[in-house]
Structure 1
Amino acid sequence: MTETFLTGDEESIDEQGLIADAREDVCILHIEDDQSFSELVATFLQRERDYFTVKTENDPQGGLSRLEEDDVDCVISDYDMPGMNGLDVLKRVREKHPDMPFILFTGKGSEEIASEAISKGVTEYLQKGGGTEQYEVLANRIEQAVARNRAEKQVTRGFQAIEAAHDGISLLDEDGQFIYVNEAYADITGYDREELLGKHWDLLYPENELDRVNKEMLPEARADEWKGRTIYTRKDGDPVKVNHRLAYTEDDTLICTIADIPEAEGIREELSLKERAMDEAPIGIVITDPSQEDNPIIYANDGFVALTGYSRDEVIGQNCRLLQGEETREEQKAEMREAIDDAEPVTVELRNYRNNGELFWNRVSIAPLLGENEELDYFVGFQQDVTERRAVQERNEEWIQTIQELGGVLAHDVQTPLDVIRGRLELARDTGDVEHLEDAEAALDRVEVLTEDLAEVMQTGELVNEKTSVDVSRLVRHIWRTLDVGDASLEVDTDIPEVYADEKALRRMCENLLGNSLEHGEEDVTVHVGRLDEEPGFYVEDDGPGIPQEDREDVFMPGFTTKEDGTGFGMVSVAQIVAAHGWQIRIRDGIDGGTRFEIFATTM
């Protein structure tokens, strides 16, 4: 059982809201002197959260050095370690990283240690348990601690951004009194911050503006938002015209933002700066004019020219659909048309064409630009080449599908020796004959070898790795001795040529073929393995019930089985291994109407 002690005011934080912020890469430093346990923790944590990266240090001093070298999001530490215990590590970490999430994960638990850890600023205290559920608890605590830390950093950055903003920002309570003003707000109004805090907003308005504030501005702000221009009276008595925006929060706090209206020269400089920034932007930007026929492009930046291969002269006056073509799907085009008709923002990814006809994936974001009267003036479009990202995404999806299929197939391959173990143990229990235990032990050894083989397959994603010359006759006889064959018999020709293959994969293939004959044949089924005469290769045939002609095309399809408790993966495994070697397989009639599988190739 895992015991946890919470050290923060978790009830005041929306955990679910914060967890989303942690679902990016999280780097975890685990300081644990037991190497085998630390490896186990890393495996389980990374299985629980695929975005976790666990870096392990078995020496506390090495862990502290690693913390300074790597970009770490959370530290996990054992308590009882040679040279430096977990609380010493915590003290050293807090000296340089006072806000770093730190979890004491120890098997030596006591209220005294927990109390001391909390007093020294530990984020979480968890006592190691005996089951795997402790790793899920640990993963959750890491996720929550990192999310909380990131959220607090975001709040701090947000407040710093407000403080550094060029626009004036203030907050007023429900009575209309200032409870916060930033430096820019104080500068525009000419007051010190302390002079505004606790004062009513009417301090800043001339008498003739008060009626407008009460009857127009505040009611519209309470309904949704008010924005426009107002005139403030500065502390020195001079009027100042500002662009003004008002809105209420759910708790009735009034948010007020103002921006001093610059002189014409300042406006021109600002526009020039914005245009230069747009031209230098690493993405394509266009502005279109919906008041003109067909909503033509009136501005295109350098990024759009580089992205599409069109010159500015070629695109000015054209509609953006000049990038569309045969591979541009109607669904995305319709979504953009609907958003433009409704003057709503939209983002889609679609296939577009460059000037030279080259296809590329384009991420297009369109937003309406509204004038002072909330009338639609223009549309701005941002375009980004995401071809490489889409290709990576498609490869990842294909890889995931491949691994899923491999998982089902490889799980089936382990089943045969497991069935042998169960059968031999049952016989040993019923008869008391220890020879059955020896057979079960041999099958267990086979499971261990097979597990290592399958782990290699899953890691590499390849069914076939190192190839050598393999004696098929010897391999088949060896496999037969590991199977629960009962009264079945095996005949193996001695002239089968050696094949160039991955012996581990070939063994799994032959186990499935022999197991198929044993599974579907009578108790005294005869299996014959021999050499093909027409082309290089060999066959596995039996005198069982055979496979009907109409079912032969489906035999190698995932899920096809003629048994109620069958998985349908045995023959899929055979087909995959055959294909991975570049061979071919066909089904013909075997002994007395049984089944014959022929594996062949141009060269083997």
Structure 2
Amino acid sequence: MTESILVLHVDDDPDFADMAAHLLEREDDRFSVTVATSASEALDRLADEAFDCIVSDYDMPRQNGVELLKTVREDNPDLPFILFTGKGSEEVASDAISAGVTDYLQKGRGMSQYAVLANRIDNVVTRYRAENERQWRNAIFEGCRDAIFISDSDARFVDVNEATVELTGYDREELLSMRIPDLHEDDDLDAYREYHERILSGEPATTMAEILRADGSKVPVEFSNRRLDVEGDTYMHTVARDLTERTERKRTLERDQNRMHAITDAIPDMVVVYDTDGRFRSVLSGPEDLPVDGLGSLEGETLEDAFNSDAADCIQAAIDETVESGAVQTVEYALMSNGNRRWFEAHVASLDTGDTDRAVLVARDITERKAHGRELDEANTVLGTIVANLPVGVLVEDAKRDVLMTNEALCEILDLPGTTDDLIGRNCEKAAADLKDLFADPDGFVTGIKERIDQRVPVSNEVLDLADGRTLERDYVPYDLPDGEANLWLYRDVTDRVDRERELQQFERIVEHVGDAVWIHDPDGTLRFVNDPPAAALGLSPEDIVGKQAMAVLASVADPEKLATFTQEVQRILAGKTDTARLELPLYLETETRHLDVRVTAATINGTRHAVGLARNIDEQKRREQELQRQNKRLDEFASVVSHDLRNPLNVAHGRVSLALEEHDSEHLSVAQNALDRMGALIDDLLTLARQGRRINDPEQVALSAVATRCWSVIDGTEATLNVESDLTFMADTDRLQQLFENLFRNAIEHGAEDATICVGPLADRRGFYVVDDGPGIPEATRDEVFNFGYSTFEDGTGFGLAIVKEVVDAHGWNITLTDGADGGARFEITGVTITRQ
């Protein structure tokens, strides 16, 4: 990369920002660094200028680095953004990654960090520019639906897009080893060579030819070619379009036209094509006795010329409606023939021919059907419609007990074979005898029917148990017809309702004495069941709540936004979009505020999806959490002061001293630099301690040998040796465990010989692990003090190393013991570890 790289560096410390800019530009002369000392200034700069990369601090007033990143991402989703920060917590890193940070680098000590930062900037900008170039090429080359390929002067493929692979059936690697003539038959090669020479001479051309696909099939293709000259070499750029669909469409059209003519010739109905103004375009078929002059005479005529005004208006209205809506219209109209009125039913559909709108009409003579069906239709339409659509089974029998009327619902409930038409006229007494085995009390079913008919007394909601476990309800209504008595039977399947009521009764008995609040939502969101605790909290009884919507019950005491979220989650569960939901719902009662931990779970009751809710009072937990938050806030404030307000000035001082050493040789500067290194070490240990207090809540499985080896790799400048012989795995927080090992390793090296040997392995009982060295050891009299903050036997030691180890052990809930090693060194034993594999 030879282009200049424009960098926007954002840091609220102007001295540090200027120094970092100077050192970055010195690291790479391609860099041009612009400084902004606040997020708002950075956004103003970004609005006026184009930058290749943004480097930003995290801890800044009014708007921190992650908030700046989120704002930048709204308009620049891919612009490289590096967070260069002194606040190096997992929380900050997690927020930055979630917001789309490109890279994350923690500020350190010394000048080497700027070489690392310069390298990171170079890498991210290189990838950014390469990705932009790749996307443009893909959009043009790979995004085309037609096949595009490049060939050299010898007709050999140089590059192909995915559409070429699909067209030829060869994969990309196969095509790049082939020549274009390989896709043509031998008989076509002479014509191709002549065509190829014309293209190479500089004459663009288009031709059509068939190519051979990998499976041996032939494809008609249209080729558009032109010559390309690139750095002294000649190439040919080809766009190939598959004509298979166009050719097949033409064949299909011809075939469909032939079929259409064959079909219309055989249709006895009248088939006519109209222009949208109602003029006959063509008459494809029609009955010979059509009450108009010959069919041929209709072509070119208008509707008014051929039919009476009522029929013409009816047909024209249908044509107008189908052309406008696209929907098929059905109309009826009458024509006079030999003094008699003849009725026709016509279906009118839109016919778009491409150049103009037309309509096709298919008309059938329905005179006889209307004459025979009019009286029956008028008598039975209303009754038949009602019976057919009733959700209950209906059976009407006459005095001889033959079926007069029934519906599909009865066939489904009693599992009757055939259709309702098959049941008409069937004898009900014989049918009852055939069906009796369906019931749990077969003889009672038959006897019950006979008793009802003999007594002729209406009966409602009679319960019948079926042998398959279902439950029916039956109504009996006697009534009189003009020619005798009749009986009406109504059957309803109430299995779901009965089972649901039975299950809910059992459930109610179980949960009435549960201390937590329990409730059930019906599929429509209505509260079906509520136990005493939630009702009592609201000063109500369960009877006051059941049957109402939860939002209506809680509207006066719950936070509207939280309540809306709760309602949405319940609706999602009832709709089957999720099976569980959990949220915190505060209730603002008259005398107190109560916090509930609400869990809602999907439950299937009698085949129907319900939502079951459980709420627990978490007021005490909330109080503990608030106290913990206050403590953590104080720790975060302390870490922020150390990280931002101390580290930045320290980095400035370190950088300026390093620059001064390059210009002046003074022992005072060297002493100052050592003192700055000492201060940096103290800050690092203080930050580590400030972030150690949190207990481990989400451990993962780690391998002892892998973690110890990885930690050893970051211990620089030592001739010491590490021995690890263990396949022990256990549950721990990897980052915190790494801090434990690094501090134990450094402690052994600092207090032992330069070629010290350190061993890591499992304890004899395999319930933990140890770290032991061969150094001078730790006197027994001081072993209780070494884990205290600030304890050190060196004048320049921070005294925090073993205190950090103790904090990591406590956060995991482990124990640590200090004893003598076999060779006289210090042996640290960590127990209480959750082992996952020995």
Q: Which is higher, the Rg of structure 1 or of structure 2?
A: 2
Higher strand share: 2
Of structures 1 and 2, the one with the larger relative CO (CA 8 A, separation 6+) is: 1
TM over 0.5: no
- TM-score, structure 1 length as denominator? 0.29
- TM-score, structure 2 length as denominator? 0.22
